[in-house]
């Protein structure tokens, strides 16, 4: 994936996404000791960066593919993102979701015109059901994170941030399935001025950290983290990019995630989801190393259940 791929992606998706604002906070600068630029993807359409990759993937389908629709399996933000992206382009979206997914998430997908296909609550079941929809409907399968078009789309958040602030020394991103940090790493590589990309990952779901150590894709031993968007696994498309272009992954405890989230809510008055706070938690954990530097932080999304806050 090249510099030109990223630029073309950004041009392609621009009419369908918000160019989200970059906010700063005197108080957060004091607390971190760095000069921090927050890319507010919580303000993105449907509330998370996932819209970028989803719409990029849908826009690159042929007319024949568009006519048959798209399918993915996700119980999280990508489910809503693909439903809205498909609706925006006039394409049918089949979303495979576990039967026990929260009603509020099912409602959101349906609100964006997505058709939900329920499955049992196991990774294997959802892959099988998605494959079945692919076969029966002829729908085009789009993976939430391990997909070329998705990775490029997610990279446009960092691209915009670096257009606004070209001289960032570091850029922090959460690490879940790896789509966002891989795209971010590509954007920093092609558009940064020596900008180093740092991942934030929960100790409780640290497949990326361990994969970087071992050099092969490791599995999550548990996914018992409040950062529900980061429970997913690295993939074979994004891992090589992460390996080549990500400087470091910092793991954080659950209390650090909740503390960073609370800081953003209380001090910046922004609603962000726990996964969003993981990047800031990583910066806070090792803040001495970044003191006085210009640091970008991607606030990846803001979809939380207000009835189930961790504080």
Positions annotated as catalytic residues are: 50, 300
Residue with tokens 């449907």: 46
Contact residue for a copy of itself among 219, 292, 307, 308 (CB under 8 A): 307
Residue 114 DSSP symbol: P
Neighbouring residues of 141: CB distance < 8 A, sequence distance ≥ 6: 70, 71, 72, 130, 131, 134
Q: Indicate whether 15 belongs to the interface with a copy of itself (CB under 8 A).
A: no
Contact residue for a copy of itself among 16, 17, 47, 185 (CB under 8 A): 47
Q: Indicate whether 248 belongs to the interface with a copy of itself (CB under 8 A).
A: no
For residues 136 and 141, give the distance between their C-alpha atoms in angstroms, rounded to a whole number. 12
Residue 199 Cβ vs a copy of itself, minimum distance, rounded to whole Å: 23
For residues 250 and 265, give the distance between their C-alpha atoms in angstroms, rounded to a whole number. 22
Cα→Cα distances 288→68, 73, 106, 169, 230, Å: 53, 40, 43, 14, 26
Q: End-to-end distance of the chain based on CA atoms, in angstroms?
A: 41
Contact residue for a copy of itself among 28, 34, 39, 42 (CB under 8 A): 42
The span of 119-127, 179-187, 198-206, 258-266 binding a copy of itself (CB under 8 A) equals 258-266
Are the C-beta atoms of 158 and 187 separated by less than 8 Å? yes
Measured from the CB atom, the residue of 215 and 311 that comes closer to a copy of itself is 311
Of residues 16-35, those binding a copy of itself (CB under 8 A) = 21, 23, 26
Q: Indicate whether 203 belongs to the interface with a copy of itself (CB under 8 A).
A: no
Contact residue for a copy of itself among 107, 244, 266, 286 (CB under 8 A): 266
Residue 176 Cβ vs a copy of itself, minimum distance, rounded to whole Å: 19
- 170-174 sheet: strands from edge to edge: 22-23, 35-40, 294-299, 170-174, 196-202, 246-252
Contact residue for a copy of itself among 204, 270, 281, 283 (CB under 8 A): 270
Q: Indicate whether 306 belongs to the interface with a copy of itself (CB under 8 A).
A: yes
Residue 247, both tokens = 């400087």
Q: Indicate whether 209 belongs to the interface with a copy of itself (CB under 8 A).
A: no
Concatenated DSSP letters of 203-261: GGG-HHHHHHHHSSPPPPS----S-GGG-SPP-TTHHHHHHHHEEEEEEE-HHHHHHHH
Contact residue for a copy of itself among 265, 285, 289, 294 (CB under 8 A): 265
Q: Indicate whether 167 belongs to the interface with a copy of itself (CB under 8 A).
A: no
Q: Indicate whether 51 belongs to the interface with a copy of itself (CB under 8 A).
A: no
For a copy of itself, the binding residues (CB under 8 A) are: 21, 23, 26, 42-43, 45, 47, 262, 265-266, 268-272, 302, 306-307, 309, 311
């Amino acid at each position: 994936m090249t510099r030109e791929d990223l630029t073309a992606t950004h041009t392609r998706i621009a009419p369908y996404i918000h160019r989200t604002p970059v906010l700063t906070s005197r108080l957060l600068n004091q607390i971190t000791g760095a000069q921090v630029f927050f890319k507010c993807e919580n303000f993105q359409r449907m509330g998370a960066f996932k819209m970028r990759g989803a719409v990029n993937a849908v826009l690159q389908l042929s007319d024949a593919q568009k006519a048959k629709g798209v399918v993915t399996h996700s119980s999280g933000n990508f489910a809503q993102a693909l439903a809205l992206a498909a609706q925006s382009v006039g394409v049918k979206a089949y979303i495979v979701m576990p039967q026990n997914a929260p009603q509020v998430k099912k409602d959101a997908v349906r609100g964006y015109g997505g058709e939900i296909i329920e499955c049992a609550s196991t990774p294997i079941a959802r892959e099988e059901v998605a494959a079945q929809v692919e076969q029966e409907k002829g729908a085009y399968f789009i993976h939430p994170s391990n997909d070329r078009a998705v990775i490029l789309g997610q990279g446009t958040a960092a691209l915009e941030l670096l257009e606004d602030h070209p001289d960032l020394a570091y850029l922090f991103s959460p690490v879940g399935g790896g789509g966002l940090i891989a795209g971010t790493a590509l954007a920093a590589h092609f558009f940064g001025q020596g900008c180093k990309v740092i991942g934030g990952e929960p100790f409780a779901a640290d497949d990326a950290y361990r994969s970087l150590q071992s050099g092969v894709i490791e599995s999550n031993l548990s996914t018992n983290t409040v950062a529900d968007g980061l429970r997913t696994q690295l993939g074979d498309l994004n891992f090589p990019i992460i390996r080549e272009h990500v400087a470091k992954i910092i793991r954080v405890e659950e209390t650090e995630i909740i503390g960073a989230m609370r800081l953003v809510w209380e001090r910046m008055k922004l609603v962000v989801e726990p996964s969003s706070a993981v990047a800031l938690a990583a910066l806070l954990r090792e803040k001495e190393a970044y003191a006085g530097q210009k640091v970008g932080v991607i606030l990846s999304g803001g979809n939380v259940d207000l009835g189930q806050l961790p504080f």
